[in-house]
Chains A and B, each alone.
Chain A
Amino acid sequence: MSDPTTGAPAADWPLYEVFIRSRSGLEHKHVGSLHAADARMAVEHARDVYTRRQEGVSIWVVRSADIVASDPAEADALFEPARDKVYRHPTFYAIPDEVKNL
């Protein structure tokens, strides 16, 4: 576990994020993460860690370091512009009850 010269813990294998398609026809969904030496091992470990009860028919793994994410601190600035645009939803429009199929 430790580096014999420095006593520091050995470096971890890279971290991978795991995405599973639970059934054919559904999208892959993030289920968690794991460490693996390479991508192939990440898929094999994902099989053992996340699909022991037939939770999936397909696995994606991606290096966590390769994911670019929005900054939570900027969430307001990023998502606020959509907040006052309720006219983008069908319920914004008042249609008389007697009008059908609309």
Chain B
Amino acid sequence: MYTQALDTHGREPVPAPAAEGAATATRFQARIDADEKIEPKDWMPEAYRQTLIRQISQHAHSEIVGMLPEGNWISRAPSLRRKAVLIAKVQDEGGHGMYLYSAAETLGVARAQLVEQLLSGAAKYSSIFNYPTLTWADVGAIGWLVDGAAIMNQIPICRCSYGPYARAMVRICKEESFHQRQGFEIMLTLAQGSDAQHAMAQDALNRWWWPSIMMFGPPDGDSKHTAQSMAWKIKRFSNDELRQKFIDVTVPQAQFLGLTIPDPLLHWDEATQHFAIGPIDWSEFHAVLKGNGPCNRERLEARRAAHAAGAWVRDAAAAYAAKRGAQAHEGGKS
């Protein structure tokens, strides 16, 4: 599962909640401040609704597109056990997409509209999935790093002010833990294997480390929506806070694996009691986000092809349901 502080990538700035009645808006904020949950039919500022629709649907799209890089290795998993695990993991990602689409729909947007936005390229999804999975070790690195970063992002969302999103996230976080552990186990097996396997694990870490670090979104100074999302309790920690937490827990794990994090400036900072990293190349992040990553076009084409290939199934199911409905109606009359 996979967010990357997606709420920071909207193209339009979120308007302040001024249009609605000031008293109603004050009451709404008071409920949020009192840690009450907002439920679908409750009054909410339009900007709160739009922010959530954008964030939850981008999150859902990320789950769906996220099935592609890992699905790439199902037919080539090195053992039956690994294959069964990978199928279960990819199926979970699909399930997470379903929970999230349902949560988004409670805000008054249609599923078909959300799917259309993904397929047309209008919607964004986590840019991490625009990187290719070149070797089996990439499956391990994705579980360990990408799912690890996602968990770091998502655990605070379990306490999000919007009830359906928070509840979906509780479910997702429970399932996500298996994803991260199976990834680490793959990395551990490779790191302790032959020289070639160790090198394969190192290569995967080299390629996935920085994109994983960038999953937390732009630095706090450049993050447009953080303050408003924090006030609404959609977001609980800033991008940089979450990024630092991830680095602090992950560096020792890499050391345990005997792998080297691809950052010559990485060091323990006694003063801050945190690991400090070298500068992040944000130009790459923005290039991938704009559609110029290694696999952007391939991912969308795969989704469009899958959707088109499934059209006859959807049509057949609808026709069958209509026929059964008509028969039940006839039967009821006689």
On A, residues with C-beta under 8 Å from B are: 1-2, 9-13, 15, 32-35, 37-38, 41, 48-49, 52-53, 69, 71-73
Determine chain B's interface SS by DSSP, over half rule: helix
How far, in angstroms, from A2 to B311 measured CA to CA in the complex? Answer: 10
Residue B320 is within 8 A (CB to CB) of chain A in the complex: yes
Contacts of A38 in B (CB 8 A): 317, 320-321, 324-325
| A72 close to B112 (CB less than 8 A) | no
Cα distance, A43 to B320, chains bound together (Å): 16
- Contact, CB under 8 Å: A9 / B317: no
Contacts of B102 in A (CB 8 A): 32-34
27 contacts between A and B (CB under 8 A): A1-B112, A1-B307, A1-B308, A2-B116, A9-B113, A10-B112, A11-B112, A15-B105, A32-B99, A32-B102, A32-B167, A33-B102, A35-B111, A37-B314, A37-B317, A37-B321, A38-B325, A41-B317, A48-B95, A49-B95, A49-B99, A52-B88, A53-B175, A69-B41, A72-B41, A72-B42, A73-B43
Residues in A whose Cβ lies below 8 Å from that of B112: 1, 9-12
Instruction: Tell me if B92 and A52 are in contact (CB < 8 A).
Output: yes
For B95, the closest partner residue in chain A by CB is A49
Nearest CB of A to B100, in Å:
10
User: A48 CA to B88 CA in the complex, in Å?
Assistant: 11
Cα A56 to Cα B88 in complex, Å, equals: 18
Looking across the interface, which residue of chain A has its beta carbon closest to that of B118?
A1
Q: Does B50 contact A (CB under 8 A)?
A: no
B110 touching A72 by the CB < 8 A rule?
A: no
B290 to chain A, nearest CB (A): 24
Q: How far is the CA of A40 from the CA of B318 in the complex (A)?
A: 12
- Which residues from A are CB-within-8-Å of B116? 1-2, 9
Q: Which residues of A contact B113 (CB under 8 A)?
A: 9
Distance in angstroms between the alpha carbons of A9 and B119 in the assembled complex: 11
| Binary contact readout B36-79 vs A (1 if CB under 8 angstroms, 0 otherwise) | 00010111000000000000000000000000000000000000
CB of A44 to closest CB in B, whole Å? 11
Contact with A along B285-302 (1 / 0, CB 8 A): 000000000000000000
Which among A35, A69, A73 has the highest number of chain B CB atoms within 10 Å? A35
Query: In whole angstroms, how far apart are the Cα atoms of A10 and B43 in the complex?
Result: 29
Question: Does B200 count as interface, using CB distance less than 8 angstroms?
Answer: no
Residues of chain A contacted by B91 (CB below 8 angstroms): 48, 52
